[in-house]
């Protein structure tokens, strides 16, 4: 696609999912994050333990209306339905727009209409499953699969004869995130749970994202008990480290894990328990599956592809907006 400008694109977005935002910030654009003094949801700026680059800027909400941007990137319903009308002026609200949808539909899996119904907005889904399940209305869609970065010195060892589960708030999020499945499996297989508020469920607590790859590299396998959500970044990161993946054959997991080659997936939990025990008993087999998982991750979740996809998406909506404005001026 034709490059619009030699200068980095200026993207206004919100801090919604910290890990995703960190990976998105690897795209060579300038990202502006609105902040408020009390740092409410979406306004946390450069928060967390991420090693933010110098292309990520915090902007007090009071200064936003004096700034110029190339594109607005929404990441939540609140961003789209409320925030843009509260913190942006009319001039900014007609800028090129992308809505990044992180999740599949919650209300009804097959018949929920997306809140965006606008042929001038680009709706980006992080998995093909999400794109399939949402009723996307008149809005054009595109899928950009996750991209992840793992330190080069982190390698799978699998020395711990345990599985690891990485889920935030699993106890309060319940069946959808597979809390009951986690407890069921834990009766038969040693599992460590990490993530925010995991202590409530007997877990080890949160591991800072920069330290997570090294931390999980020692576990024999990664277990994903989630019934219904988008593909978690922790799955992608674990594959990139080289852990074999065990999980439910639902959502995008069915297209991510090659059963018997990079891990094991099934809708029968007893089957998964048996495969976990197999990996605990056979570390060489676990290593072979993990090597295949890593090759899959390099192919599917590499950062170079992720960056290209996002640059193409930004340029697409900006060019389309320019063409529309030129057409309107001609018609006038």
In this prediction, residue 120 carries a pLDDT of: 96
Work out the number of other CB atoms within 10 angstroms of the CB of residue 18.
16
* pLDDT tens-place string over residues 184-215: 999 999 999 999 999 999 999 999 999 999 99
Single out the residue of 286, 169, 316, 288 nearest to residue 222, CA to CA. 286
* pLDDT tens-place string over residues 295-312: 999 999 999 999 999 999
Tokens of 311: 């640059």
Alpha carbon distance 125, 104 (integer Å): 9
Alpha carbon distance 205, 310 (integer Å): 33
Three-state DSSP state, 307: helix
CA angle 5, 6, 10 (to 5 degrees): 65
Across the chain, what does the average pLDDT equal? 95
* pLDDT tens-place string over residues 264-282: 999 999 999 999 999 999 9
In this prediction, residue 331 carries a pLDDT of: 54
Cα-flanking dihedrals φ and ψ of residue 120, to 5°? -95, -5
Single out the residue of 260, 261, 201 nearest to residue 225, CA to CA. 201
Q: Does 326 have pLDDT greater than 90?
A: no
Q: Does 330 have pLDDT greater than 80?
A: no
Sheet arrangement for strand 191-194: 191-194, 160-166, 219-224, 245-248, 263-266
- The angle, 0 to 180 degrees and rounded to 10, between the axes of the packed helices 283-300 and 269-281 is 110
């Amino acid at each position: 696609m034709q490059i619009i400008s030699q200068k980095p694109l200026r993207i206004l977005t919100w801090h919604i999912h910290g890990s995703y935002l960190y990976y998105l910030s690897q795209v060579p654009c300038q990202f502006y994050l609105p902040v408020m003094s009390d740092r409410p949801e979406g306004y946390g700026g450069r928060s967390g333990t991420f090693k933010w680059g110098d292309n990520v800027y915090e902007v007090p909400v009071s200064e936003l209306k004096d700034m110029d941007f190339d594109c607005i990137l929404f990441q939540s319903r609140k961003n789209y339905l409320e925030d843009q009308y509260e913190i942006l002026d009319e001039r900014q609200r007609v800028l090129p727009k992308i809505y990044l949808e992180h999740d599949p539909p919650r209300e009804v899996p097959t018949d929920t209409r997306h809140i965006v119904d606008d042929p001038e907005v680009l709706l980006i889904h992080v998995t093909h499953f999400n794109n399939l399940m949402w009723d996307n209305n008149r809005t054009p869609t595109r899928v950009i699969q996750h991209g992840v970065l793992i330190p080069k010195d982190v390698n799978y060892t699998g020395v711990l004869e345990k599985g690891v589960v990485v889920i935030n708030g699993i106890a309060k999020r319940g069946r959808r995130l597979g809390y009951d499945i986690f407890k069921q499996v834990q009766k038969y297989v040693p599992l460590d749970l990490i993530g925010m508020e995991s202590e409530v469920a007997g877990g080890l607590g949160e591991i800072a994202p920069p330290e997570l790859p090294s931390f999980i590299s020692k576990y024999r396998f990664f277990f994903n008990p989630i019934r219904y959500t988008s593909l978690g970044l922790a799955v992608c990161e674990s594959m990139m480290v080289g852990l074999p993946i065990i999980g439910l054959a639902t959502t995008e997991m069915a297209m991510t894990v090659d059963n018997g080659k990079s891990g094991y997936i099934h809708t029968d939990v007893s089957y998964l328990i048996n495969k976990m025990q197999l990996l605990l008993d056979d570390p060489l087999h676990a290593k072979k599956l993990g090597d295949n998982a890593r090759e899959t991750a390099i192919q599917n979740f590499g950062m170079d592809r992720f960056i290209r996809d996002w640059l193409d998406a930004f340029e697409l909506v900006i060019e389309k907006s320019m063409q529309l404005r030129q057409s309107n001026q001609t018609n006038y």
